[in-house]
Amino acid sequence: MNRTYLDHNATSPLRGPARAKMLDVLRAAGNPSSVHAEGRAARALVESSREKVAALVGGRARNVIFTSGATEALNLALSSHWRGPDCAPARLLLSATEHVAALEGHRFGERAELLPVDANGLLDLTALDAALAREAGPVLLCLQAANNETGVLQPVAAAVDKVHAAGGLVVCDAVQAAGRTACTFETVGADMLVVSSHKLGGPQGAGALILRDAALNCSRPLIRGGGQERGFRAGTENVAAIAGFGAAVDEAIDHLADEEARLAALREQLEASVLQIAPDALIFGSGAPRNPNTCAFAIPGLPAETALMAFDLAGVALSSGSACSSGKVKRSHVLAAMGVPDDLARGALRASLGWTSTEADVAAFTLALQQILARIGRKTAV
């Protein structure tokens, strides 16, 4: 069976140039910390990829810290041990719709506060103002550029202005946005950005925390040992994965402008199909700016667990939301924070497009949806 893959927010298929680069690296030996020729060759590959990842977000190569993925990068970033030139945050603020890697992985303990979002999933900036006014000292704010479940684009630049005026720092989770829409230090203004390789068509197992300013420092890194990555992240670098990461970034940068428009057009086709088949369907976050590739929706009377199995049997891969819940279909904290009723949230499905997506994929999705609704005896509009 020919499969239709519409789950790029979970992971994007490996791009050809990334696979080729990784195979080349795996044929060679060399620890990038060694001084012999093999080690220097490995180091050159790491540093070349560092420059490419920095270019993705308009940063500097020396400020890119390679990690095992975005989860580790967020765990490293969300700590009170970070210090700026004039800032030592004592409390953490997070939007209620942040990824679980931020909500569960931060190192602030009880010194963390969740900020509400509106019905479209946008951060309540008035609540941010109130939280900043309550704090006697600087804070660290964590805010996604694009939500992984709904694709909603947060007002990061506006939030950054408020936090910086109060003397704080901002970590922006750019995992879903980087390489899919304009998301750079210049556009969002954050102090740290988190990106992931496998969301861009690179290999799983590589990510990066990127600092805006080299003056930022962490007195207690998450992983300590040999001092690699300028002491921010100990352990021998995963050269093959990092090289594949760099190759995928190259591809994403080269096609960014065209790809953003292409994916937005495909998403519009997909959403039009959903609403034509089921006019009572709800598109989550549709009243806010969204990532061009993401559509989260629910059709009353269609449970997500039933739908996912039926789509899978029809050869279409979708998700019910985040892919970080041990394969379980469960209540979305994102939709709960948006005030979505339980019965509708239980039917939430997510189609996320990417570099492999085509009009044929949208057509296959549309046909599968019609057949699934007919099978459960639900009348459709077409």
Question: Residue 343's domain is classified under what CATH number?
Answer: 3.90.1150.10
- The answer to whether position 163 is within a domain reads yes
Please report the pLDDT score of residue 326 as a whole number. Answer: 41
Compute φ and ψ for 259, nearest 5 degrees: -70, -40
Q: Based on the domain organization, do 199 and 306 belong to the same domain?
A: no
Q: Examine the domain organization and report whether 183 and 270 are in the same domain.
A: no
Identify the bridge partners of residue 290 per DSSP, sorted by sequence position: 152
Cα–Cα distance for residue pair 348/318, rounded to 1 Å: 11
Q: What is the pLDDT of residue 89?
A: 86
> Are residue 236 and residue 288 in the same domain, yes or no?
no
Claim to verify: residue 205 and residue 59 sit in the same structural domain: yes
Choosing from 200, 232, 250, the residue where a domain stops is 250
Contact 204, 68 (CB under 8 A): no
pLDDT tens, 79-110? 999 988 777 788 999 999 999 999 999 999 99
Element (H, E) at 375: helix 359-375
Please check whether residues 88 and 106 belong to one and the same domain.
yes
333 in the same domain as 244:
no
- Do 29 and 115 share a domain, yes or no? yes
* 320 is a domain residue: yes
The residue with tokens 């190759």 is 247
- Residue 214 and residue 297 in one domain: no
Query: Quick check: is 382 in a domain?
Result: no
- From CA 52, how far away is CA 178, in angstroms rounded? 13
Return the percentage of the chain with pLDDT > 90, whole number: 90
Mean pLDDT, rounded, for 294-304: 96
Q: Does residue 221 form part of some domain?
A: yes
Q: Within a domain: residue 380?
A: no
Residues catalogued as catalytic: 324
Which DSSP state fits 233? S
Same domain, 266 and 224: no
Domain assignment of residue 170, yes or no? yes
In a shared domain, residues 98 and 197: yes
Over the stretch 231-271, which tens digit does the pLDDT of each residue have? 999 999 999 999 999 999 999 999 998 999 999 999 999 99
Asked whether residue 198 falls in the same domain as residue 296, the answer is no
Yes or no: say if 123 and 155 are a contact pair by the CB < 8 Å rule: yes
For 161, other C-beta atoms within 10 Å of its C-beta total: 14
Is residue 209 predicted with pLDDT exceeding 90?
yes
At 377 the pLDDT is 73
244 lies in the same domain as 262: no
Give the Cβ contact number of residue 235 at 10 Å: 14
What is residue 245's predicted lDDT score, i.e. its pLDDT? 98
Q: Which residues contact 113 (CB under 8 A, 6 or more apart)?
A: 91, 92, 93, 94, 131
Three-class DSSP category at 178: strand
285, 120 in Cβ contact below 8 A?
yes
Domain that holds residue 146: 16-250
Strands (DSSP E) contained in the chain are: 4-5, 64-67, 82-83, 91-95, 112-115, 139-144, 169-173, 192-196, 207-211, 217-218, 282-283, 294-298, 316-317, 349-352
> Is the pLDDT at 376 greater than 90, yes or no?
no
Ramachandran angles phi, psi of 286, nearest 5°: -65, -15
Decide if pLDDT at 141 tops 80: yes
Tokens of 329: 């279909």
State the CATH number of the domain containing residue 124.
3.40.640.10
What's the total number of domains in the chain?
Answer: 2
Burial 278-310 (b: 16+ CB within 10 A, else e): beebbbbbeebebbbbbbbbbbeebbbeebbeb
Q: Which residues contact 314 (CB under 8 A, 6 or more apart)?
A: 364, 367, 368, 371, 372
β-pairing verdict for 192-196 and 217-218: unpaired
